[in-house]
Amino acid sequence: MTLAQTIPPVLVTMFNRPDHASRVIAEVARVKPKQLFLAVDGPRPDVVTDRAGVEGCRALVSRIDWDCEVFTRFRERNLGCREGMIDAVSWFFDHVEGGVILEDDCLPHESFFTFASGVLGSFGEDPRLMQLSGYSHVANLSGSVSFLPLTSSWGWGTTRKVWREFLRQRDGLVADFEAHPELHDRFDLDGAYPYSKMFLRNMKGKVSSWAILFYWFVFRAEGLVAYPPQSLIQNFGFDGSGTHGKARSGDATEWFPAGRTEIRIPVGVSLDETLFAQVRQVLKR
Protein backbone atom coordinates (compact mmCIF):
# COMPACT_ATOMS: atom_id res chain seq x y z
CA MET A 1 0.00 0.00 0.00
CA THR A 2 1.32 3.49 -0.82
CA LEU A 3 0.66 6.65 1.15
CA ALA A 4 -2.27 8.96 0.45
CA GLN A 5 -1.42 12.43 -0.88
CA THR A 6 -2.93 14.46 1.95
CA ILE A 7 -1.33 17.00 4.26
CA PRO A 8 -1.90 16.86 8.03
CA PRO A 9 -2.08 19.94 10.26
CA VAL A 10 1.38 21.42 10.86
CA LEU A 11 2.85 23.15 13.92
CA VAL A 12 6.09 25.14 13.54
CA THR A 13 7.75 26.08 16.84
CA MET A 14 10.10 29.06 16.93
CA PHE A 15 12.02 31.31 19.30
CA ASN A 16 14.64 33.83 18.19
CA ARG A 17 16.01 32.52 14.88
CA PRO A 18 13.86 33.97 12.06
CA ASP A 19 16.41 33.04 9.39
CA HIS A 20 16.18 29.38 10.41
CA ALA A 21 12.41 29.44 10.81
CA SER A 22 11.86 31.10 7.43
CA ARG A 23 13.59 28.17 5.70
CA VAL A 24 11.26 25.70 7.43
CA ILE A 25 8.16 27.72 6.57
CA ALA A 26 9.30 27.96 2.94
CA GLU A 27 9.35 24.15 2.77
CA VAL A 28 5.95 23.92 4.45
CA ALA A 29 4.64 26.38 1.84
CA ARG A 30 5.45 23.86 -0.89
CA VAL A 31 2.74 21.49 0.38
CA LYS A 32 0.24 24.16 1.52
CA PRO A 33 -1.41 22.52 4.55
CA LYS A 34 -4.98 23.58 5.25
CA GLN A 35 -4.17 24.23 8.93
CA LEU A 36 -0.91 25.86 10.03
CA PHE A 37 0.02 26.64 13.63
CA LEU A 38 2.87 29.02 14.48
CA ALA A 39 4.16 29.14 18.07
CA VAL A 40 6.86 31.60 19.16
CA ASP A 41 8.30 31.56 22.68
CA GLY A 42 8.78 34.89 24.43
CA PRO A 43 12.11 36.70 24.83
CA ARG A 44 14.32 36.06 27.84
CA PRO A 45 14.31 39.14 30.07
CA ASP A 46 18.09 39.13 30.47
CA VAL A 47 19.00 38.73 26.77
CA VAL A 48 18.57 42.04 24.94
CA THR A 49 18.98 40.51 21.48
CA ASP A 50 16.04 38.13 21.93
CA ARG A 51 13.37 40.72 21.26
CA ALA A 52 14.43 41.35 17.66
CA GLY A 53 14.70 37.62 16.94
CA VAL A 54 11.31 36.90 18.48
CA GLU A 55 9.68 39.75 16.54
CA GLY A 56 11.30 38.46 13.36
CA CYS A 57 9.77 35.02 13.93
CA ARG A 58 6.36 36.50 14.64
CA ALA A 59 6.54 38.50 11.41
CA LEU A 60 6.85 35.27 9.40
CA VAL A 61 3.08 34.92 9.56
CA SER A 62 3.05 37.38 6.66
CA ARG A 63 4.68 34.68 4.50
CA ILE A 64 1.52 32.56 4.61
CA ASP A 65 0.05 33.34 1.20
CA TRP A 66 -2.00 30.23 0.45
CA ASP A 67 -5.55 29.37 1.43
CA CYS A 68 -5.36 27.95 4.96
CA GLU A 69 -6.36 28.52 8.55
CA VAL A 70 -3.48 30.15 10.43
CA PHE A 71 -3.30 29.93 14.22
CA THR A 72 -0.69 31.79 16.27
CA ARG A 73 0.58 31.50 19.83
CA PHE A 74 2.97 34.34 20.54
CA ARG A 75 4.09 34.20 24.16
CA GLU A 76 5.24 37.34 25.97
CA ARG A 77 7.06 35.38 28.70
CA ASN A 78 9.86 32.95 27.93
CA LEU A 79 9.11 29.36 28.90
CA GLY A 80 12.32 27.77 27.64
CA CYS A 81 13.04 24.69 25.56
CA ARG A 82 11.10 22.15 27.64
CA GLU A 83 8.07 24.09 28.87
CA GLY A 84 7.82 26.17 25.71
CA MET A 85 7.59 23.10 23.52
CA ILE A 86 5.15 21.31 25.82
CA ASP A 87 2.96 24.42 25.90
CA ALA A 88 3.00 24.79 22.10
CA VAL A 89 2.26 21.14 21.37
CA SER A 90 -0.52 21.07 23.98
CA TRP A 91 -2.09 24.14 22.34
CA PHE A 92 -1.78 22.44 18.94
CA PHE A 93 -3.64 19.34 20.14
CA ASP A 94 -6.36 21.45 21.70
CA HIS A 95 -7.31 22.15 18.07
CA VAL A 96 -6.45 19.00 16.10
CA GLU A 97 -6.72 15.23 16.54
CA GLY A 98 -3.37 14.49 14.93
CA GLY A 99 -0.60 16.36 13.21
CA VAL A 100 3.11 17.05 12.79
CA ILE A 101 5.56 19.28 14.61
CA LEU A 102 8.62 21.00 13.14
CA GLU A 103 11.13 22.94 15.18
CA ASP A 104 12.79 25.90 13.50
CA ASP A 105 15.87 23.95 12.41
CA CYS A 106 14.22 20.80 11.05
CA LEU A 107 13.85 21.08 7.29
CA PRO A 108 11.21 18.70 5.89
CA HIS A 109 11.26 16.90 2.56
CA GLU A 110 7.88 17.18 0.79
CA SER A 111 7.34 13.45 1.31
CA PHE A 112 7.43 13.91 5.09
CA PHE A 113 3.89 15.25 5.10
CA THR A 114 2.29 12.45 3.10
CA PHE A 115 4.31 9.91 5.11
CA ALA A 116 2.88 11.41 8.30
CA SER A 117 -0.64 11.53 6.90
CA GLY A 118 -0.45 7.90 5.83
CA VAL A 119 0.85 6.73 9.21
CA LEU A 120 -1.72 8.71 11.17
CA GLY A 121 -4.53 7.61 8.88
CA SER A 122 -3.56 3.95 9.00
CA PHE A 123 -2.38 3.56 12.59
CA GLY A 124 -3.55 6.62 14.50
CA GLU A 125 -6.00 4.53 16.50
CA ASP A 126 -3.54 1.72 17.21
CA PRO A 127 -2.42 2.01 20.87
CA ARG A 128 1.03 0.64 20.00
CA LEU A 129 1.81 3.64 17.76
CA MET A 130 2.81 6.59 19.94
CA GLN A 131 4.81 8.76 17.54
CA LEU A 132 6.06 9.09 13.99
CA SER A 133 9.52 10.38 13.12
CA GLY A 134 10.60 12.11 9.94
CA TYR A 135 14.25 11.53 10.77
CA SER A 136 15.69 8.06 10.19
CA HIS A 137 18.99 6.88 11.65
CA VAL A 138 19.54 4.22 8.97
CA ALA A 139 18.10 3.45 5.55
CA ASN A 140 15.52 0.69 5.27
CA LEU A 141 16.20 -0.84 1.86
CA SER A 142 12.73 -2.37 1.69
CA GLY A 143 11.28 1.11 1.11
CA SER A 144 8.69 0.47 3.83
CA VAL A 145 7.66 2.27 6.98
CA SER A 146 9.22 0.54 9.99
CA PHE A 147 8.47 0.59 13.72
CA LEU A 148 11.05 1.04 16.47
CA PRO A 149 10.83 1.57 20.26
CA LEU A 150 12.74 4.86 20.06
CA THR A 151 11.36 8.38 19.87
CA SER A 152 12.68 11.34 17.89
CA SER A 153 12.31 15.12 18.05
CA TRP A 154 13.61 16.02 14.58
CA GLY A 155 10.35 16.42 12.70
CA TRP A 156 7.69 14.25 14.29
CA GLY A 157 4.00 13.73 14.83
CA THR A 158 1.49 12.10 17.12
CA THR A 159 -2.16 12.21 18.13
CA ARG A 160 -4.13 14.19 20.68
CA LYS A 161 -4.83 10.99 22.60
CA VAL A 162 -1.15 10.10 23.00
CA TRP A 163 -0.08 13.64 23.87
CA ARG A 164 -2.76 14.08 26.50
CA GLU A 165 -1.79 10.79 28.10
CA PHE A 166 1.79 12.04 28.23
CA LEU A 167 0.57 15.23 29.94
CA ARG A 168 -1.45 13.19 32.41
CA GLN A 169 1.61 11.15 33.37
CA ARG A 170 4.36 13.76 33.10
CA ASP A 171 4.40 14.79 36.78
CA GLY A 172 5.14 11.21 37.77
CA LEU A 173 7.76 10.40 35.13
CA VAL A 174 10.78 11.51 37.16
CA ALA A 175 9.71 9.48 40.21
CA ASP A 176 9.06 6.49 37.97
CA PHE A 177 12.52 6.81 36.40
CA GLU A 178 14.17 6.97 39.83
CA ALA A 179 12.15 4.00 41.08
CA HIS A 180 13.28 1.69 38.26
CA PRO A 181 17.08 1.77 37.87
CA GLU A 182 16.91 -1.81 36.61
CA LEU A 183 15.31 -0.47 33.42
CA HIS A 184 17.94 2.16 32.65
CA ASP A 185 20.23 -0.07 30.60
CA ARG A 186 17.36 -1.11 28.34
CA PHE A 187 16.31 2.56 28.14
CA ASP A 188 19.88 3.18 26.91
CA LEU A 189 19.29 0.61 24.15
CA ASP A 190 21.46 -1.95 25.93
CA GLY A 191 24.21 0.58 26.49
CA ALA A 192 24.21 1.97 22.96
CA TYR A 193 23.44 5.57 23.95
CA PRO A 194 23.42 7.42 27.33
CA TYR A 195 19.75 8.37 27.45
CA SER A 196 19.68 7.79 31.22
CA LYS A 197 22.42 10.37 31.71
CA MET A 198 20.41 12.79 29.58
CA PHE A 199 17.38 12.16 31.76
CA LEU A 200 19.44 12.82 34.93
CA ARG A 201 20.89 16.02 33.47
CA ASN A 202 17.36 17.13 32.66
CA MET A 203 16.27 16.38 36.24
CA LYS A 204 19.15 18.47 37.60
CA GLY A 205 18.35 21.41 35.33
CA LYS A 206 21.55 21.10 33.31
CA VAL A 207 19.51 20.71 30.12
CA SER A 208 15.90 21.61 29.36
CA SER A 209 14.36 18.83 27.29
CA TRP A 210 10.79 17.72 26.74
CA ALA A 211 11.99 14.94 24.43
CA ILE A 212 13.76 12.80 27.03
CA LEU A 213 10.62 12.83 29.20
CA PHE A 214 8.52 11.80 26.20
CA TYR A 215 10.93 8.98 25.39
CA TRP A 216 10.63 7.58 28.94
CA PHE A 217 6.84 7.82 28.66
CA VAL A 218 6.83 5.85 25.38
CA PHE A 219 9.43 3.40 26.72
CA ARG A 220 7.33 2.59 29.80
CA ALA A 221 4.23 2.12 27.65
CA GLU A 222 6.18 -0.24 25.35
CA GLY A 223 5.08 1.96 22.49
CA LEU A 224 6.44 2.10 18.96
CA VAL A 225 7.45 4.91 16.62
CA ALA A 226 6.95 4.86 12.85
CA TYR A 227 10.06 5.66 10.78
CA PRO A 228 10.36 6.31 7.03
CA PRO A 229 12.75 4.18 4.93
CA GLN A 230 15.18 7.10 4.74
CA SER A 231 15.37 10.51 6.36
CA LEU A 232 12.75 13.04 5.40
CA ILE A 233 14.20 15.65 7.77
CA GLN A 234 17.44 17.58 7.58
CA ASN A 235 18.52 19.20 10.85
CA PHE A 236 20.54 22.32 10.04
CA GLY A 237 20.65 23.65 13.61
CA PHE A 238 24.17 22.50 14.44
CA ASP A 239 25.64 25.95 13.80
CA GLY A 240 25.96 27.11 17.38
CA SER A 241 22.81 29.26 17.26
CA GLY A 242 20.59 26.96 19.33
CA THR A 243 20.42 26.21 23.04
CA HIS A 244 21.43 22.56 22.68
CA GLY A 245 22.74 22.39 19.09
CA LYS A 246 26.37 23.36 19.55
CA ALA A 247 28.44 24.14 16.47
CA ARG A 248 29.83 21.06 14.78
CA SER A 249 29.85 19.53 11.33
CA GLY A 250 28.59 16.29 9.86
CA ASP A 251 25.32 16.00 11.78
CA ALA A 252 22.04 14.93 10.21
CA THR A 253 22.88 15.73 6.62
CA GLU A 254 21.04 12.70 5.27
CA TRP A 255 18.22 13.48 2.86
CA PHE A 256 15.59 11.46 1.09
CA PRO A 257 17.19 10.75 -2.31
CA ALA A 258 15.87 12.35 -5.47
CA GLY A 259 13.95 9.94 -7.62
CA ARG A 260 12.78 7.74 -4.76
CA THR A 261 9.70 9.19 -3.16
CA GLU A 262 7.37 6.21 -2.85
CA ILE A 263 7.00 4.84 0.67
CA ARG A 264 5.22 1.57 1.32
CA ILE A 265 3.09 1.22 4.41
CA PRO A 266 2.88 -2.19 6.14
CA VAL A 267 -0.31 -3.99 7.08
CA GLY A 268 0.18 -3.63 10.83
CA VAL A 269 2.35 -2.23 13.62
CA SER A 270 5.20 -4.49 14.75
CA LEU A 271 8.79 -4.03 15.90
CA ASP A 272 11.46 -4.38 13.21
CA GLU A 273 14.12 -6.23 15.22
CA THR A 274 16.70 -6.24 12.42
CA LEU A 275 16.48 -2.50 11.83
CA PHE A 276 16.49 -1.84 15.57
CA ALA A 277 19.79 -3.71 15.90
CA GLN A 278 21.24 -1.55 13.12
CA VAL A 279 20.08 1.64 14.84
CA ARG A 280 21.67 0.54 18.12
CA GLN A 281 24.97 0.04 16.33
CA VAL A 282 24.76 3.48 14.68
CA LEU A 283 24.05 5.18 18.01
CA LYS A 284 26.80 3.24 19.74
CA ARG A 285 29.33 4.53 17.20
Tell me the DSSP string of 177-241: HHH-GGGHHHHTTTTTS-HHHHHHHHHTTSS--SHHHHHHHHHHTT-EEEE-SS--EEE--TTTT
Q: What pLDDT digit, counting tens, does each position of 139-151 carry? A: 888 899 999 999 9
Cα torsion angle, 154, 159, 160, 166, sign: negative
Q: What pLDDT digit, counting tens, does each position of 84-135 carry? A: 999 999 999 999 999 999 999 999 999 999 999 999 999 999 999 999 999 9
Predicted local distance difference test score (pLDDT) of residue 237: 78
Report the chain's mean pLDDT, rounded to a whole number: 91
Cα torsion angle, 33, 217, 281, 201, sign: positive
The pLDDT of residue 242 is above 60: no
What is the average pLDDT across 200-221?
A: 96
Domain architecture of the chain: domains with CATH: 10-284 (3.90.550.10)
The pLDDT of residue 260 is above 90: no
Would you place residue 239 in the very low, low, confident or very high pLDDT band (cuts 50, 70, 90)? low
Predicted local distance difference test score (pLDDT) of residue 164: 98
Tallying the residues shown for the chain, one arrives at 285
Would you place residue 6 in the very low, low, confident or very high pLDDT band (cuts 50, 70, 90)? confident
Would you place residue 261 in the very low, low, confident or very high pLDDT band (cuts 50, 70, 90)? low
The pLDDT of residue 49 is above 90: yes
What is the average pLDDT across 266-283?
A: 95
What is the average pLDDT across 258-267?
A: 75
Predicted local distance difference test score (pLDDT) of residue 5: 61
